[in-house]
Amino acid sequence: MPSFDLTDRVAIVTGGSQGFGKAIALALGQQGANVAVVAREPEQVTVGRERPHAPVNPVVDELKALGSRAIGITADVRDQDQVDSMVAETMAEFGRVDILVNVVGGSWGETFRSGPLMELDPHDFIECYRLNVLTAFMSSKAVQPIMKAQGKGAIVNIASGAGVSPGTGQGAYGAAKAAVINVSKSMASEWAPEIRVNSIALGGIETPHRPMWVESVQQTMTSRNAMGRLGTPDEHAGTVLWLVSDAAAFITGEAIAANGGLR
């Protein structure tokens, strides 16, 4: 029976310094992977509102305490040069890349807003697409030649249930996450059989940003799923762990619905 063991494999986790990304990095490390934890510096707010940020070093220290080799990389994966440097630094340290998890994304940010469609402008859509779709595309494209040459690799792109079903005030975000799901399928089709690519359509997760939600919004989300609650970062990290492991060796081109039984 294939296992979840990732001993000596090398993983890059973008957005890995906190919340869901941190949980993924630690889950991979617990299974023996060597991990490059990637996150960006805070940036000035121009249109939207500030997002929480955390440095990479504390996560690297936790990974090392688990016995994993780990490095921290500060990079903004919306920038091609920084993406290329991220991959080059990982290769210089570990000599290979077996796993890429593209966590970077969001429904709002320092450069764009979320909200009803009539309150948004083209800039909001473009910046939302840039944060959610282009980051996954550029990072995946950068590791593709490495994985192809190795003869094996696994990529997971974090999408959202908003990319499958509409949500109030989620028009730009939903469109972007639908694109993440679709481009993941294209990657899986074009890069097989050496590289498996899947996405996860998250349906609610406890993260550091969630205190911003008013109680009514949380109640609406949890009342719509069978579990009656939001998923935890560790629970969703388990889905990622399965997808990048040999236990999912025949799974590619799928959008896994991780939504607690959304109704």
Q: Per-residue confidence of the chain (263 residues) as pLDDT tens digits? A: 678 999 999 999 999 999 999 999 999 999 999 999 999 999 999 999 988 889 999 999 999 999 999 999 999 999 999 999 999 999 999 999 999 999 999 999 999 999 999 999 999 999 999 999 999 999 999 999 999 999 999 999 999 998 998 888 899 999 999 999 999 999 999 999 999 999 999 987 776 555 444 555 566 667 778 887 888 888 889 999 999 999 999 999 999 998 888 76
Domain, as residue range, for 175: 10-258
β-partners of residue 256 are: 200
Q: Would you say residue 4 lies in a domain?
A: no
Looking up residue 170, the CATH number of its domain turns out to be 3.40.50.720
Q: Would you say residue 2 lies in a domain?
A: no
**pTM for the structure as a whole:** 0.94
Sign of the CA dihedral running 236, 237, 239, 243: positive
Distance CA 245, CA 115 (A): 37
Residues known to be catalytic: 173
Asked if 213 and 207 touch (Cβ cutoff 8 Å), the reply is: no
Per-residue model confidence as pLDDT tens digits over 26-35: 999 999 999 9
Q: Would you say residue 263 lies in a domain?
A: no
Distance CA 9, CA 17 (A): 20
Strand (E) or helix (H) holding 173: helix 171-191
Pick the closest to residue 241 from 140, 134, 156, 133 (CA basis).
156
Per-residue model confidence as pLDDT tens digits over 157-216: 999 998 998 888 899 999 999 999 999 999 999 999 999 999 999 987 776 555 444 555
Count how many domains the chain has: 1
